[in-house]
Amino acid sequence: MIKEAIGILDMGMESFPLLFPLSKTFKYERFVYANDLLNQPYEGLEPEAIVGFVKENVERLQKQNLKLLIVGSDVIWEYAQDFLKTLSIPVFNIVDTLIEYINNHYEQKNMVLLAKNSILEANLYQKNFKYNHLYSLPSDELEAIVLNKMTKTTQSFYVAKTSLLPALKKEVDIIITSTPLLRLVKTEIDEYLRGAEITDVLAIWEDKIKSSGLVLYEKGRGRIEVLGNVPKKQWIQQTVGEPFKYKYLETKANQSN
């Protein structure tokens, strides 16, 4: 019988850097990761098309005998949350996970929210945080630094400074990174907002899984499988973070027009 899996769903590479660390923490688990490099970014597409792509990718994941789905993309949650809430398995999403964590640990504190401009405009986070002062700052350029593999360069520090400019020299308690891959520019962020905590999405998800009541394996061999919809060579070119071993399975998918 195929081992039950923890699934992770992204639009692009939002949560990919967390995949290997999660597999180290839950070393007996089978992780199955899927994203949509063929059609991302979703911004600018019709909502119906986005939901269609999400359904297709969830269907790919469900064939892997999932016991939990983690949605690492807030763009996916923005457009497809109604569908995702109908699934018969537990679904953790980055939006509600961060809102719950921040309100439990940093209520009425001074916050910086780093999120895609489209997500800031959608007001997914801001309307739910309980804060003293909130600086909502677009993270698009910082994310581009990570995706273009330019971290820890003169350019990355410049982009970090300009992205954080409205919050510089302000009292900040917590920096909320709504896209998990922003952990890869932690050094740059720390340089300009020293003393402020940065959300550790990895640790938050680890704690959430451990406290969820989910039955976790205590023996056996864990593994990582990736469901991609682009050729493996293209996939490897677009990965971010430290390399690690996984099984790549290319699947057919519909493409946006």
Residue 50 neighbours by CB under 8 Å, 6+ apart: 42, 75, 76, 79, 80
**Total-model pTM:** 0.94
* Mean pLDDT in residue range 142-164: 98
Does 250 score more than 80 pLDDT? yes
- Mean per-residue pLDDT of the chain: 95
According to DSSP, residue 15 is labeled: T
Are the CB atoms for 193 and 137 separated by under 8 Å?
no
pLDDT tens track for 172-209: 999 999 999 999 999 999 999 998 999 999 999 999 99
* Domain membership flag for residue 256: no
Q: Are residues 146 and 223 in the same domain?
A: no
Q: Are residues 190 and 107 in the same domain?
A: yes
Q: Are residues 150 and 184 in the same domain?
A: yes
Radius of gyration of the chain (CA): 18
Q: Are residues 153 and 176 in the same domain?
A: yes
At residue 211, the 3 state secondary structure works out as coil
Assign 242 a pLDDT band (cuts: 50, 70, 90): confident
Q: pLDDT over 90 for what percent of the chain?
A: 93
Residue 184 neighbours by CB under 8 Å, 6+ apart: 17, 146, 151, 240, 241
When divided into structural domains, the chain yields a total of 2
Assign 254 a pLDDT band (cuts: 50, 70, 90): low
122 lies in which domain range? 95-200
Which sign does the torsion angle of CA 231, 47, 204, 209 carry?
A: negative
* pLDDT at 124 (0 to 100): 96
Q: Are residues 109 and 46 in the same domain?
A: no
Q: Are residues 103 and 187 in the same domain?
A: yes
